[in-house]
Amino acid sequence: MTHLSSTAIKDALQSAAPIDAMRVQGWVRTRRDSKDFSFIELNDGSSLRNLQIIARNTLSNYADIQRLTTGASIAVSGTMVASQGKGQKWELIADNIEVIGTAEDSYPLQKKGHTPEFLREIAHLRPRSNLFGSVFRVRSRLAFAVHQFFQERGFVYVHTPIITGSDCEGAGELFRVTTLNTADMPRNTSGEVDFRKDFFARPTYLTVSGQLEAEALALALSKVYTFGPTFRAENSNTSRHASEFWMIEPEMAFCNLNSNMDLAEEFVKYLIADARKHCPDEMELFAKFVDKELLARLDFVVDRPFQRITYTGAVDLLKKSGEKFEFPIDYGLNLQSEHERWLTEKHFKCPVTVFNFPKEIKPFYMRVNDDGKTVAAMDLLVPGIGEIIGGSQREERLEMLEENMRRHKMDPADYKWYLDLRRYGTASHSGFGLGFERMLKFITGVANIRDVIPFARTPGSAEF
């Protein structure tokens, strides 16, 4: 039941004066008894802070109140006065406490000391802990900041489809969408599954990226961005890969790789500064309990220009580093996470944008540079994580794009609409994708991607 007349604990605690009649609702964090009172620490998730409730033994249901345990939900009305005790400015003297829902003794979120693995098993309850409450409030604030950043700069927010027929990244990491009966698939004369009989009369998948459709919108609205869920059936069990994650993808017409790299850098700094400014309690909690170096690192990142280096330059540095890598590096190979981290953590000691990658290791849509060997790609790497942004200037020349497609074993006929964009008023254009969860890992210091999204989907795990 929502009471419009109830006050968020965050607002109550920020009050400049006592409040005569106030009502709050939330979940009991702790309760302890003294001679004539019970003290309740109440949290409603509006902020990290609890409101101390004083329940006098004169309350008619005092016996029930004394049975309240951690996790129970209550509504309290009373008078908020200056607290006599230490540690809080205000406390609420209850006139009435309504027990809404008691918590059984088996409530798993008692006190502290739970492992992240255990907390993932109770993902439906962990938002009630200080750490996860803070992570999800920061997640909300940063989602807002994403919109603010782009809206302030004249970008149009566009919604690209979740169900799509194309594999933007060409990596084949697609979740198929079908309504066919998997026990009895319709087949053509050569025995292959006949997806013309499927719901959309063609093969369809969950999108890995909204980029291709965002390009169509950028070549009409000039500056656009998407912010939505994306899906990858990539069998990577790491702390930075999720099968379902949120991506922010700006796309700009009349824009080259350099301006694209500038925007990416500005965007990363903006989000960090926003969290520092608007989530001070949460950031302090992360600095205290998650990563002691967090705030110093983030402030350093905001204050300084990022480094830029070509892929070829980066490979040279890695080869000369004398470092023993699990995966050896050579020109033409993808940078692995260990290489990315060496570059940003050990060598440059700051975020670094690597650009101009060999065309063989990047998707078909990237613009071929004049050297004929590299494409105008960029990856932004940050300490502790590696890649958080991937982007490029797009191939705007029709013949080159068709050639790229054939080199990637794609049939241009399947992408007629995408090629049309090069037939009718083509223009240089660029964009990138920021993994929202990777950014949250960076800003909160939380080590595992499973702990910055409320309900993580990873290989072998889709509970809740």
The residues of the shown chain that bind Mg ion, judged by CB under 5 A, are: 390
CA distance 154 to 151: 5
d(CA 435, CA 453): 12
When CB distances are held under 5 to 8 angstroms depending on the partner's kind, the choice from ligand 4AD, Mg ion, none that residue 396 binds is none
* CA proximity to 78, closest of 42, 58, 53: 53
Report how far residue 434's alpha carbon sits from residue 246's, in angstroms, rounded to the nearest whole number: 9
Bridge partners of 218, per DSSP, are: none
Q: Which does 433 bind (CB under 5 to 8 A by kind): Mg ion, ligand 4AD, none?
A: ligand 4AD
Tell whether residue 433 is a contact of ligand 4AD (CB under 6 A).
yes
242 binds ligand 4AD per the rule CB under 6 A: yes
> Which of 232, 341, 429, 441 touches ligand 4AD by CB under 6 A?
232
- Determine if 355 is a binding residue for ligand 4AD (CB under 6 A): no
Return d(Cα 82, Cα 76) in angstroms, integer: 17
Q: Which amino acid is at 124?
A: H
Residues 403-432 that bind ligand 4AD (CB under 6 A): 431-432
Under rule CB under 6 A, residue 26 binds ligand 4AD: no
Round to whole Å and give the CA distance between 243 and 252.
27
Residues 6+ apart with CB under 8 A from 236: 459
Q: Look at residue 438 and give the partner it binds from Mg ion, ligand 4AD, none, a contact being a CB closer than 5 to 8 Å depending on partner kind.
A: ligand 4AD
Q: Which does 318 bind (CB under 5 to 8 A by kind): Mg ion, ligand 4AD, none?
A: none
Q: Is 247 one of the binding residues for ligand 4AD (CB under 6 A)?
A: yes
Distance CA 319, CA 225 (A): 37
Q: Which is nearer to ligand 4AD, 134 or 226 (CB)?
A: 226
**Residue 7 or residue 430: which is nearer to ligand 4AD going by CB?**
430
Q: Which is nearer to ligand 4AD, 71 or 391 (CB)?
A: 391
Specify the residue, 390 or 445, whose C-beta has the smaller distance to Mg ion: 390
One-letter amino acid at 32 equals R
Amino acid, res. 36: D
Residue 211 contact among Mg ion, ligand 4AD, none, beta carbon within 5 to 8 Å by kind:
ligand 4AD
Minimum CB distance to Mg ion, residue 140 (Å): 26
Query: Shortest distance, CB of residue 419 to Mg ion, whole angstroms?
Result: 24
391 touches ligand 4AD by CB under 6 A: yes
Does position 209 interact with ligand 4AD (CB under 6 A)? The reply is yes
Counting contacts by CB under 6 A, is residue 390 touching ligand 4AD?
yes
- Name the residue nearer to ligand 4AD (CB basis): 42 or 217: 217
Structural contact between residues 240 and 103, judged by C-beta atoms closer than 8 angstroms: no
What angle in degrees, to the nearest 10, is found between the helix axes of 280-289 and 130-152?
Answer: 130
Q: Is 386 in the site for ligand 4AD (CB under 6 A)?
A: no
Question: Min. distance of Cβ 334 from Mg ion in angstroms?
Answer: 9
Rounded to the nearest 5°, which phi and psi values hold at 355? -135, 170
Rounded to a whole number of angstroms, the distance between the first and last alpha carbons of the chain is 24
User: In this chain, which stretch among 112-120, 181-189, 198-206, 244-252 interacts with ligand 4AD, using CB under 6 A?
Assistant: 244-252
Report d(CA 170, CA 173) in Å as an integer. 8
* Close Cβ partners of 76 (under 8 Å, ≥ 6 residues apart): 23, 24, 25, 40, 42, 53, 92, 94, 96, 97, 98
In the complex, least distance from residue 437 CB atom to ligand 4AD, rounded to whole angstroms: 5
Q: Which residue has tokens 């409101």?
A: 51
Q: Do the Cβ atoms of 24 and 44 come closer than 8 Å?
A: yes
* Phi, psi (deg, nearest 5) at residue 145: -65, -35
- One residue of 44, 198, 213, 437 binding ligand 4AD per CB under 6 A: 437
Q: Which is nearer to ligand 4AD, 40 or 264 (CB)?
A: 264
* Shortest CB 96 distance to ligand 4AD, Å: 47
241 binds ligand 4AD (CB under 6 A): yes
Number of helical (H) and strand (E) elements in the chain, helices listed first: 13, 16
Residue 312 phi, psi (nearest 5) = -60, -45
Least separation in angstroms between CB 200 and ligand 4AD: 22
Contact 35, 24 (CB under 8 A): no
Interacting residues with ligand 4AD (CB under 6 A)? 168-169, 209, 211, 232, 234, 241-242, 245, 247, 249, 387-392, 431-433, 435, 437-438
